[in-house]
Structure 1
Amino acid sequence: MSETSTATRTIVVEREIAHPPEKIWRALTQPHLISEWLMKNNFSPVVGHRFILRGEWGGVLDCEVLIVEPQRTLSYTWIFKHDDPLFNLNSVVTFSLSRTTTGTILRMEQSGFRPDQKQAYGGAKAGWPMFLAKLEQLVAETD
């Protein structure tokens, strides 16, 4: 087995949002808000908390909170199990917030895509910008 076959791929999406980190943090950590921009869930911002994300497409993601640094970093596992092993995904999603003079830079990184997971990688690469656009719209509409 060659070294390249075990390398994983990562998706990174960055957005500058004209709101403070505190406001974006709420959208990243409050279950009712997460439901509006990402998926239905039973999230709690507590390291070790296991939760589920339910996609409109019928899929269920098993997740566990790894890092909680309020207003700065949120990280959790993003695991999808499927009957076809090719579609199994064992990844980590990390959100980083950096305050700017005009708001916040939100950086989303999803790591752990195997080279043979072209469909999952392509779907995430297309999906995350849409999710983050919904998050930005939600933040603009909430107090």
Structure 2
Amino acid sequence: MNDKSTDTLSVVTERDISHPPEKIWRALTQPHLIAEWLMKNDFSPVVGRRFDLRADWGTVDCEVLAVEPNKTLSYTWAAHGLESVVTWTLTPTSKGTHLRMEQTGFRPDQKQAYQGAKAGWQQFFTSLEQVLTRAD
């Protein structure tokens, strides 16, 4: 029996970035840097830590699920009826880092949120790369 109502969609954004994992990790986990590329926040890389991301359009409620320094970061992302999980994976390469972000949990009836996330993460990645270029 295949229950289609449980099928969810994922947004995956991947990029090769010419900075080491340690530097990207800082941009993913330090609140003042997160604020520069994503949103205002009270993030701390501690499993179980609840935090929120604040933007003009509203707030995202989050909880840290997994922290493996310089390798993996995962947290819940709940906003406007969307219950999802964002997972970052950092893989060292010869030229820097392969950065992968996967946001899972979009229901088939959440097309607008899904499309918004697909576009939004591309912009966030571009902003993240700009922060990395400026950050020491």
State the Cα distance separating 1:114 from its structure 2 match. Answer: 0.3
C-alpha offsets along residues 48-79 of structure 1, whole Å, 9 cap, x if unaligned?
A: 0000001132x111100000000000000001
Partner secondary structure for residue 19 of structure 2: coil
In structure 1, the gaps of 5 or more residues are 83-87
Matches within 5 A, 1:52-131: 52-57=52-57, 59-80=58-79, 82=80, 88-131=81-124
1:55, 1:23 → 2: CA distance?
Answer: 25
Partner secondary structure for residue 19 of structure 1: coil
State the TM-score, normalized to the length of structure 1: 0.92
Contact 1:39 1:56 in 2 (8 A): no
1:92, 1:131 → 2: CA distance?
Answer: 16
Q: Which amino acid aligns with 1:138?
A: V
Q: Which amino acid aligns with 1:52?
A: D
> Is 1:33 aligned with 2:26?
no
Q: Which amino acid aligns with 1:125?
A: K
Residue 125 of structure 2 aligns with which residue?
132
State the Cα distance separating 1:140 from its structure 2 match. Answer: 1.0
Q: Which amino acid aligns with 2:46?
A: V
Identity over aligned pairs, percent: 67
> Is 1:142 aligned with 2:121?
no
Residue 45 of structure 1 aligns with which residue?
45
How many aligned positions are there? 135
Runs of 4+ in 1 over 6 A off after TM superposition: none
RMSD: 0.9
1:21, 1:27 → 2: CA distance?
Answer: 10
Q: Which amino acid aligns with 2:95?
A: T
Q: Which amino acid aligns with 2:104?
A: S
State the Cα distance separating 1:6 from its structure 2 match. Answer: 1.7
State the TM-score, normalized to the length of structure 2: 0.97
1:55, 1:6 → 2: CA distance?
Answer: 30
